[in-house]
Amino acid sequence: MSTTSSLLRYMARRAVDRVAVLFLSLVLQFLLLRVLPYYVLGIDPSFFFLNPNLTETQRELIRKQFGLDEPLFSQFVKYVLCLFTGRLGYSFYTRRPVISELLERLPNTILLLGTSTILTIIIGLIIGIIAVSKRGSRFDATVIGTSIFISAFPVFYIGLLLLLIFGFYLRWFPLAGTVSRPPPKDPVAYLADVLWHLALPLTTIVVAGAGGFALFIRNLFLTQLGEDYVLTARAKGLSEREVMYKHVMRNVLPPVINILALELPGIISGAVVVETVFSWYGVGRWLFDAAMQFDYPVVQAVLFIQVVLTIVSLYIADLVIAILDPRVRLR
């Protein structure tokens, strides 16, 4: 059996598996977000839009537009079709295609989450690797202590503290928003303005994430260094550097890739909490606001996107790992 065909077969099996997972998650979401509130608890999302002048026929019309009068199964089929036809359905609230609303918020979220994810990974990696190379030192102990301590902080609390100190008390940074209103016209000043607004939310996410990531990297390396093959390699007289790069890296990479794959969807779907604390006009806050307005299609679409992205990015991660490590395919 050639390696390529075994790889292909493995990936195909995975693909089928993942599509099934996607389908089941759609069913679950549908049950939780549509069937449960309306059919079990009797909360009618259309009440939000009813005004006293409406005639009975019009009420029916609105409910029809929301698809609430159809049998459950056909509602489900419509729901799935909507998600896959490229427009992700229509918002109850604005009646606009969800995709165009999403695209309006995406740049902000990518700006915030993209930069912060990259920073988190870089800082985490650097600190983690330094800590593991100096394991047992004071630096290592500090990293462990700080990381554990920070991991006990709720993310929103980090944001609140930064906001209280740097926003309200020192007044160094703005309290809300992504740009000044209105922003400066000069492109350089504009960029500076954006960065100025970005500073606090970015710091919040990086502080919340980097410690944990560093700890993860450190422990990962540490476990690997304790494995038999490292002992063997050391026994063979390989230098520490060679051990690190030839053997350890190879085994450390898969979990790191996995973690990265899990982080990536967040760049699109945003961070509800941080975006809410800093009034950041992004996808995460949109999800929250939409939920508050009983705008089911938006909520479902955002959840759907996140599931799809997770599945896709993990699938890619699987592929990469399988290429790196042929043993995986046989599992």
Partner 1 sequence: MSESPLKRIWYSTKNLLFELRLHKTGLIGLIILLFYTIVAIFAPYIAPNDPNKMQLADSYAYPEWFAIFPKYRNLPRNIFLNIGYHDWSISIEGDNLSVDEVNGYTVIIARCSDHTSYGSVLMEYSFNYSYDPPRRFEGEIPYRVDIYDATGSYVRIKCFIITPSGRSYELYDSRPIAYNLSRLDAPGTYDARDVFLKIKLGFSPHDYLGEKIFNEKGTYTLRLLVQVFTVKGDGYVEVKLANKTFRIYGMLYGLLGTDNLGCDLFSNLVYGTRISLIVGILASIISVSLGLIVGLIAGYKGGITDQILMFFTDTLLFMPILPLIIAISVFIGKSLYLEIALIALLSWMGLARNIRAYVMSLRDSMYVEAARAIGASDMYIVFRHILPQLSPLIYISLVMRIPGAILLEATLSFLNLGDPSVPSWGRMLYNARYAGAFSRLMWWWVIPPGLAITFLALAFILLGHALDEILNPRLRVRR
Partner 2 sequence: MLSNEKRHLKFAKLRTYALIAVLLITLLPYVMFLRPTSAGEVPPEQEQWKWEPYGPRMDEYLYSIITDYDAQLMAFKAGEIDTSYIQAARLEEVKGDPNIYILTYQTFNLQFLGINCKQYPWNFTAIRQAVAHLIDKERIVREVFHGFGVPTDSPIPPVFGAWSNPNVPSYPYSPELAKQTLLEAGFTYDEATGKWYDPNGNELPTFYIQVPPAEQAPWLYQEAQMIVEAAHSIGLPLEVEAIEFQALVSQIYSRTFKSFILYLGWARIPTLAYELFRTDGTWNFWGISDPEIDEWLEKFYYTTDIKEAQQWLWKVQEKVAKLLPYIPIYMGVANVGFRTDIAGIVLNKPVGGQNYLTLLNVHRIGMPFGGRFRDALGSDPRVLNPFTALTGDEWAVLDMVYESLFIPNPDDVASDYPWLAERWTIEEVEIGGSKCTKITFYLVKNATWHDGVPFTARDVNFTFWFIKKNQPAQMYAKAFEKMIKTEVIDDYTIAVYINGTSWAYLYDLNVAIVPEHIWGNETLLEEHGGWESWDPSKVPHPSVPGLTCLVGTGPYIFKDRKLGEYILLVWNPNYWKRHPEKGLSLSFKKVDEMVYSGTPITVELSVTDYMGRAVGNASVVIEVIKDGEVVKSVSASHKGDGVYTASIDTSGLTGTITLKVMVSQKVGPGELKISKETTVNVLPLWRKYLPYAGAGVVVAIVASIVVLLLRKRSLS
- Name the residues that contact partner 2, by CB under 8 A: 42-44, 47-56, 58-59, 61-62, 90-91, 93-97, 101, 104-105, 108, 168, 175-179, 181-183, 279, 281, 289, 292-293
Shortest spacing between CB 165 and partner 1, in angstroms: 9
Of the residues 217, 287, 317, 322, which one makes contact with partner 1 according to CB under 8 A: 287
Peptide bond into 254 cis (omega under 30): no
Does position 307 interact with partner 1 (CB under 8 A)? The reply is yes
- In the block, residue with structure tokens 């069937």: 35
183 vs 255 by CB, closer to partner 2: 183
Q: What angle do CA 305, 207, 303 make, to 5 degrees?
A: 10
The DSSP call for residue 183 is P
Q: Which is nearer to partner 2, 211 or 297 (CB)?
A: 297
272 touches partner 1 by CB under 8 A = yes
Q: How many helices (H) and strands (E) does the chain have?
A: 15, 0
- Quickly list DSSP for 108-128: HHIIIIIHHHHHHHHHHHHHH
List 7, 37, 70, 146, residue binding partner 1 (CB under 8 A): 37
Quote the Cα angle for 183-187-189, to 5°.
60
- On the CB side of 142, how many CA atoms lie within 13 Å of its CA? 6
Q: Which is nearer to partner 2, 213 or 278 (CB)?
A: 278
SS3 8: helix
Distance CA 253, CA 262 (A): 14
Distance in Å, CB of 218 to partner 1, minimum:
12
Select the binding partner of residue 248 from partner 1, partner 2, none (C-beta < 5 to 8 A, by kind): none
Is there binding between residue 20 and partner 1 (CB under 8 A)?
Answer: yes
Query: Which range in 59-67, 189-197, 273-281, 323-331 contacts partner 1 by CB under 8 A?
Result: 273-281
Report, in Å, the least distance between residue 107 CB and partner 1: 20
Closest CA to 70 of 48, 107, 97, 38: 38
> Considering CB distances under 5 to 8 angstroms, the limit depending on partner class, which of partner 2, partner 1, none binds residue 121?
none
Query: Is 149 among the residues that bind partner 1 (CB under 8 A)?
Result: yes
Rounded least distance, CB 278 to partner 1, Å: 11
Residue in 253, 252, 254, 230 with CA at minimum distance from that of residue 243:
230
Determine, following the binding rule CB under 8 A, whether residue 32 of this chain makes contact with partner 1: yes
Q: Please, how many CA atoms are within 13 Å of residue 135, restricted to the half-sphere of its CB?
A: 15
**Segment contacting partner 1 (CB under 8 A): 70-78, 79-87, 246-254, 290-298?**
290-298
